[in-house]
Structure 1
Amino acid sequence: MESQWLSWAKRLSALAETGLHYCQDKFDRERYEEISALSREMMASLGAVPVERVALALGRGEGHVTPKIDVRAAIIDDGKILLVKEKMDGRWTMPGGYAEVGVSAADNTVKEVWEEAGVRVTVSRLFALRHKARHAYPPDVLDFYKLFFLCERLDDAPLDPGHEVHDAGYFSPHELPPLSEPRVIARDIADAFAFHADPRRAALID
């Protein structure tokens, strides 16, 4: 779970950016701009990174600030789960990524699996909806809702890793490779196996 100070700084940043979107008074705008700058300095200090990197991660104002959406696919076959090797850190994760505007959560997940692993799947069910800040992922200046879906393969075609990843493969829960923890943690994979084994379980929702 992320620190309370980081949570406060992120919330302060979101309130400032939302205020900048709606405010009409020039003096209010100046106050919101100062609050925004202070919140970014707080996040930079807490993460021991340059404030410019925080500004780059947050991007330009988007109006009313809301959490980002990340979708992940759990494809389990013969007691093993499909993982892809990320180019950014050389570690492994369930296929997935940012949700795209204009595409449903399920269709986003199907698209990500195809692009990263070359596998055709269908989404069978949501098994977890997590607020990233509440779990054991590394701290992040962005706020995320993470959606985890169980998926089923539509054919037996061989894996064909796309240009976004280095490799793809199946792993047993007891022989997992180093995980790309900003994207997936061991608990996510354990929950995927548990829900695959018992379809009657209620989804985990923060």
Structure 2
Amino acid sequence: MSDKWLTWAKEIQAISQAGLTYTKDVYDVERYQRLRELSTEILEEYTDEPMEKIIDLFANETGYQTPKVDIRAVVFHEEKLLLVQEKSDGKWALPGGWADIGFSPKEVAVKEVYEEAGIEVAARQLLGLVDMHKHPHPPMASHIYKVFIACDWKDGKLQGGIETDHAAFFQKDRLPELSIGRNTHEQIEHLFTMQKETLPPFCD
């Protein structure tokens, strides 16, 4: 099934949110509010989520809508890559999560590694910035940019955290089942290539 309906719903939602933020006309407020309602009705029709949850996650923001930012730490050790097992689905991903207000991208990467893998790292450099819509991730209600930051292991012992069961380093040819909502196989393979070759940061 095509995911165009989700793209349309997100665009309608973004237009309505911007309109509600900037319009001064009372009649336009009604029109933009109706657009927001239509966007949530589309999601309710094509998903199993209740309207209350859709409104809370998808149509409850104010101001001009911009993409959300997901930051992932890339930690190599002896040519193996650090992955964490997510409690939510039992699958594996690079440690990371949403960007936090008051933290720089590097600070978020360091914090997420400590919280999800139990080790201290030093963030070194940007490896990539991608639009999840351009990659084979599952459909998402939000428009999301993903940031990859190289980090070096400094201290600590691997362990799970509040949101993760386990943390471990993996060889390229022995990867566990990946949580493709967080990282695709193609992204992971490219990071292994970057670890061996001097390549510029990727962006798309």
TM-score strictly above 0.5: yes
CA distance in 2, matches of 1:93, 1:47: 25
After superposition, give the CA deviation of every residue in 1:89-143 in whole Å (9 maximum; x if it has no partner).
1111100000001111111111100111111111222121110111100000111
Q: Secondary structure at the match of 2:174?
A: coil
Aligned positions of 1:3-42 closer than 5 A: 3-42=3-42
Aligned to 2:166: 167
Change in 2 beyond 3 A, CA 1:108/1:59: farther
Given residue 128 of structure 1, which amino acid in structure 2 is its aligned partner?
A: G
CA distance in 1, matches of 2:95, 2:171: 16
CA distance in 1, matches of 2:139, 2:54: 12
After superposition, give the CA deviation of every residue in 1:4-54 in whole Å (9 maximum; x if it has no partner).
332222111111011111222221111001001111222333445444332
CA distance in 2, matches of 1:24, 1:62: 15
Aligned positions of 1:93-108 closer than 5 A: 93-108=93-108
- TM-score (structure 2 length as normaliser): 0.93
CA distance in 1, matches of 2:11, 2:180: 23
Identity %: 36
Given residue 171 of structure 1, which amino acid in structure 2 is its aligned partner?
A: F
Conserved 8 A contact 1:150-1:196: no
Conserved 8 A contact 1:82-1:94: yes
Aligned to 1:150: 150
Aligned length: 203
- Deviation (angstroms), 1:57: 2.0
CA distance in 1, matches of 2:62, 2:180: 27
Unaligned 5+ residue runs, structure 2?
none
Aligned positions of 1:46-61 closer than 5 A: 46-47=46-47, 49-58=49-58, 60-61=60-61
CA distance in 2, matches of 1:93, 1:197: 20
Conserved 8 A contact 2:117-2:158: yes
- Alpha-carbon RMSD across the aligned residues, in angstroms, is 1.6
- Deviation (angstroms), 1:166: 1.0
Change in 2 beyond 3 A, CA 1:49/1:170: same
Aligned to 1:92: 92
Which moved further from structure 2: 130-139 or 189-198? 189-198
Q: Does 1:128 align with 2:128?
A: yes
Q: Secondary structure at the match of 2:52?
A: helix
Q: 2:202 aligns with which of 195, 201, 204?
A: 204
Given residue 118 of structure 2, which amino acid in structure 1 is its aligned partner?
A: G
Aligned to 1:195: 194
Given residue 201 of structure 1, which amino acid in structure 2 is its aligned partner?
A: L
Conserved 8 A contact 1:150-1:192: no
Change in 2 beyond 3 A, CA 1:133/1:51: farther
Which moved further from structure 2: 57-66 or 175-184? 57-66
- TM-score (structure 1 length as normaliser): 0.92
Q: Does 1:182 align with 2:161?
A: no
Aligned positions of 1:54-69 closer than 5 A: 54-58=54-58, 60-69=60-69
Given residue 123 of structure 2, which amino acid in structure 1 is its aligned partner?
A: V
